[in-house]
Chains A and B, each alone.
Chain A
Amino acid sequence: MWDYTDKVKDYFFDPVNAGVLETANAVGEVGAIACGDALKLMLRIDPETEVIEAAKFQTFGCGSAIASSSALTELILGKTIREALSISNQDIADFLGGLPPEKMHCSVMGWEALQAAVANFRGETWNDDHVEGELVCKCFGVDAGQIERAVRANRLTRVEEVTNYTKAGGGCLTCFEKIEAVLAEINAAMVAEGLLAAAEAYRVGSVDPKSLKQKARPKAAAPQPIELKPVSEIVVAKPAPAPIAVGGDVAVLEKPVAATRMTTVQKIRLIEATLDEIRPFLKRDGGDCELVDVDGNTVVVELTGACVGCQMASLTVGGVQEKLIAATGLPLRVIPVK
């Protein structure tokens, strides 16, 4: 049985806004080829104000597809088209307290139905360019289609890069061989299309996933040339021999820095600079992270945007903490506040 939240169950057992809207002036009909589900979204939009006055849906699909459709109507009612279009499929999933990774496409279907309905209202035809594929990474719900887009758009040729761009493989890494196969296949296709040199293309079996897992940490933790100490040593806080370079501009600290002897101001600056480095990655997923307070080795941060309510928030905090520890050499503890 799927691990559905109570809210998903509630919205499935007693869906809100289910049925036909006779007065609809905007209708979106979409389906998910992955599982055969289909959704008809019917809206009544005020032509003057473009406010969505009524919304109803009919869905052929599983429990989460019905719940996602119902959640969508709740989210967009009373909003203007502009406001409604800013709703992402993640918002729909968040509204329901999260969806199992295999079921995220149900929320995508809701998002697409809205796009299609608005296009219909404006007398346009909506074309879908969303491609789905086999679910590759179950930890982060990444499918082959997402990997293909990232690989092609960024000319990725290494599994680590795929993880950095899509998160696939960032969890348990049991999907390594699937990622590898997808990457090799797309690279081969890119070579055939003349988009990639044959020598650059990824070949299956050329990387040992075990080394990858070990390597990924310090590398991810230190995108800039920062002298690193193994965490165990950092916790004992031995003097760091080399100056610490931060961000783009090199802030060479006067004295050889012993981690414990860093002033509070230095520490905060370093933390801020490190957060600035991480920020682009969070922003790419629609989230952000602000420094609220530093008290001893406790770093209080506020997660904003898409990070709020995201199932992966604790992982994000863990990742931020790891990077801060690596950058400062302090046994920091990152605590998120609302």
Chain B
Amino acid sequence: MPTPVYLDNNATTRCDPAVVEAMLPYFTEQFGNPSSMHAFGASVGGAVKQARAGLAALLGAEHDHEIVFTSGGTESDNTAILSALEAAPDRDEIVTSAVEHPAVLALLSHLEKTRGIRVHVIPVDGQGLLDLEAYRAALSQKTAVVSIMWANNETGTIFPVAELAEMAKAVGAVFHTDAVQAVGKIPIDLKSTAIDLLSLSGHKLHGPKGIGALYVRRGSRFRSLLKGGHQERGRRAGTENTPGIVGLGKAAELALLHMDDEVTRVAALRDRLEKGLLQRIPNCFVTGNPRERLPNTANIAFEFIEGEGILLLLNRAGIAASSGSACTSGSLEPSHVLRAMKIPYTAAHGAIRFSFSRDNTDADVDRVLEVMPGIAEKLRALSPFWKGAGEAPAAFAPVYA
């Protein structure tokens, strides 16, 4: 078995050993409850404070207390949207995009169904760019909250959240951004924006799983999701996940240190992979917006073959990636992101996402460039649509059931 090549960092990242090391004492001797009066609690409270400051620095937040620790991205997204809705009882509309994560979209369709909330889903174009005219038209005095992601998890496309937030502010709506994929990958400076709420997740930036945070701009109206104790200034009840919080704090510190590496070296690895694949394999193309996107994400659609087959063969070669194909999701639904971008289905099914991190090297890129052409060739030989490079697809019109 060759050395494994991990290129699925948008799914999750390896927890940095320094993060693990920072966490360990909080499972053993530093077991105290930060809320306690005694010495056991006090030192733990200090560590939580330090983690909060570390994360605030990564986000460019003006105040440390704007950080609320949660269990992860999904909880943050849910808290943000439900809070904004509850805090504005005279507004009953939400604006979002067609390519959000299910943590947002599933919640919104639930609200639509159970509470009669009107949800405006803003479409995207072929490159995944938001239709700004439709966005502007959807905003009104009825908009309680706008929830638009900072960067898309599948294509890496970055949305102009700072501008979008200003537009939302103009109608008095709360602006939330799911920045799970952006935090740690691109520089963020919240204090210079009008963003009210921001969700992030620890395990996407080499932190542990089960910890995340919600940024709540000072002065925002806020309603907690979980009711209970006074933790997190009453904004998130439940005894703090201290090892997780300390781990996320450390991960944030490291992310800030590695930011230059991420936007230069990691981006160069990604670009070399993309270029190499496009050169070596006919009938494939990059999806998403090539100008404004995350430095670590490449999403390439290989026409006339299907993603799961590609992933199984890549996996056999020791390479981990992911796919927007229907067959790799439990639901059999093809990626809603690629569908929203109107990528033809014979290409969308063969879309593979390679997502890098600071752990990746040139050797990883070489390995993919070595095996991927053979995989595409093997599967195309099996495909009833494939006629040959540059040829129009075979006249194949199956009866669909």
Interface residues of A (CB under 8 A from B): 1-2, 9, 12-13, 15, 18-19, 29-40, 58-66, 102-103, 108-109, 112, 116, 126-128, 130-132, 135
Contacts and interface: CB of A to CB of B under 8 A. Distances in A.
Given A13-B316, A63-B312, A66-B382, A40 B306 contact: no
Given A36-B334, A36-B345, A39-B398, A60 B327 contact: no
B330 A102 contact: yes
B385 A60 contact: yes
Nearest to B345: A36
Instruction: Kindly name the residue among B312, B345, B381, B398 whose own CB sees the greatest number of chain A CB atoms within 10 A.
Output: B398
Contact of B398 (A9, A13, A34, A38): A38
Given A30-B400, A39-B398, A62-B306, 7 more contacts: A15-B382, A31-B398, A31-B399, A33-B400, A36-B349, A66-B382, A128-B399
Given A36-B326, A66-B309, A132 B384 contact: no
Contacts of B325: 62
B384 A29 contact: yes
A36 B312 CA distance: 18
Interface in B172-216: none
Contact of B309 (A40, A63, A108): A63
B78 interface: no
A99 to B, nearest CB: 12
A36 B334 CA distance: 8
Contact of A40 (B315, B334, B398): B398
Contacts of B326: 34-36, 62
Contact of B384 (A36, A40, A62): A40
B93 interface: no
A12 B310 CA distance: 11
B383 interface: yes
Interface in B313-347: 313, 315-316, 325-328, 330, 332, 334, 345-346
B286 interface: no
B401 interface: yes
B394 to A, nearest CB: 9
Interface residues of B, number: 31
Contacts of A64: 327
A143 to B, nearest CB: 10
A294 B349 CA distance: 55
B254 interface: no
- Nearest 6 A/B pairs, CB to CB: A62-B327, A62-B308, A31-B398, A58-B384, A40-B384, A35-B326
B301 interface: no
Contacts of B345: 36
B332 A34 contact: yes
A38 B382 contact: no
Nearest to A19: B381
B309 A62 contact: yes
Given A37-B306, A58-B384, A62-B309, A29 B398 contact: yes
Interface in B43-95: none
Contacts of B332: 34-35, 102, 135
B110 to A, nearest CB: 14
Contact of B396 (A37, A38, A128): A38
A58 B304 CA distance: 12
Interface string B78-121: 00000000000000000000000000000000000000000000
Contacts of A58: 382-384
A288 B325 CA distance: 39
Interface in B368-401: 381-385, 396-401
B109 to A, nearest CB: 15
A190 B169 CA distance: 49
Contacts of A61: 306, 308-309, 327
Interface string B126-166: 00000000000000000000000000000000000000000
Given A59-B384, A102-B332, A112 B309 contact: no
Nearest to A9: B312
Contacts of B398: 29-31, 38-40
Contacts of B349: 36, 60
Contacts of A132: 401
